[in-house]
Chains A and B, each alone.
Chain A
Amino acid sequence: LAKTTQPISMDSYEGQEVNITCSHNNIATNDYITWYQQFPSQGPRFIIQGYKTKVTNEVASLFIPADRKSSTLSLPRVSLSDTAVYYCLVGFTGGGNKLTFGTGTQLKVEL
């Protein structure tokens, strides 16, 4: 069962790139890595997922090194609306595996 840790908080300014790292030293072979964004009083919202190397979509990039013991969510040119809590989710289901959310990173974006 992967134990995942993240920085508690990060501050940034509008227009900057933000990188949030998740540490998952005990990641299993079948485990995937997914990132979610959560605003207050709302359910988490999917951002991106990956297994290894680099994945990019229209809102973010996900970097996963070869040993897969960590992953980094990269948000290009953040805006005020990106102020939220970001969670990594590691795991797989089926065959007795489980899912583990990271501790969450509060990102605050200022002007």
Chain B
Amino acid sequence: DSGVTQTPKHLITATGQRVTLRCSPRSGDLSVYWYQQSLDQGLQFLIQYYNGEERAKGNILERFSAQQFPDLHSELNLSSLELGDSALYFCASSVVPEPYNEQFFGPGTRLTVL
């Protein structure tokens, strides 16, 4: 158990819908990362927050957005969902913002878009 929690574990929805994925980092970790893992794209970095502020943006689509709240939990919002958005979404956290430090990954949320 990494100490990072993600909800929900599974999510099934239809095209065009909007969903919110939630992540609670390890106690004391200020940095949160979001990743997408799919069979055709592999693991892709989406976005990073540090202490409530966006620090880095990766291959995140404009239909996706994220935020980190004052209590440090983070949410990833996916809208106008397409079939290709079906994937495993991971959240990771670390103490400091530099990603070369150990990131602790959550168990992931499996999103299925029908």
Tell me the A residues contacting B by CB distance below 8 Å: 32-34, 41-46, 49, 51, 87, 89, 91-94, 96-101, 103-104
Nearest B residue to A31 via CB reads B100
Tell me the B residues contacting A by CB distance below 8 Å: 2, 4, 33, 35, 42-45, 48, 55-58, 90, 92, 97-108
Partner among B33, B58, B107 whose Cβ is within 8 Å of the Cβ of A42: B107
Contact A43 B43 (CB under 8 A): no
Cα-based distance from A98 to B45 in the complex (angstroms): 8
Beyond the given A41-B107, A43-B107, A94-B56, please list 7 additional residue pairs across the A-B interface where CB-CB is below 8 A.
A34-B99, A41-B108, A49-B100, A49-B102, A92-B100, A99-B56, A101-B42
> Which residues in B have their C-beta under 8 angstroms from that of A104?
42-43
Question: In the assembled complex, how far is the CB of residue A52 from the closest CB belonging to chain B, in whole angstroms?
Answer: 12
Question: In the assembled complex, how far is the CB of residue A67 from the closest CB belonging to chain B, in whole angstroms?
Answer: 19
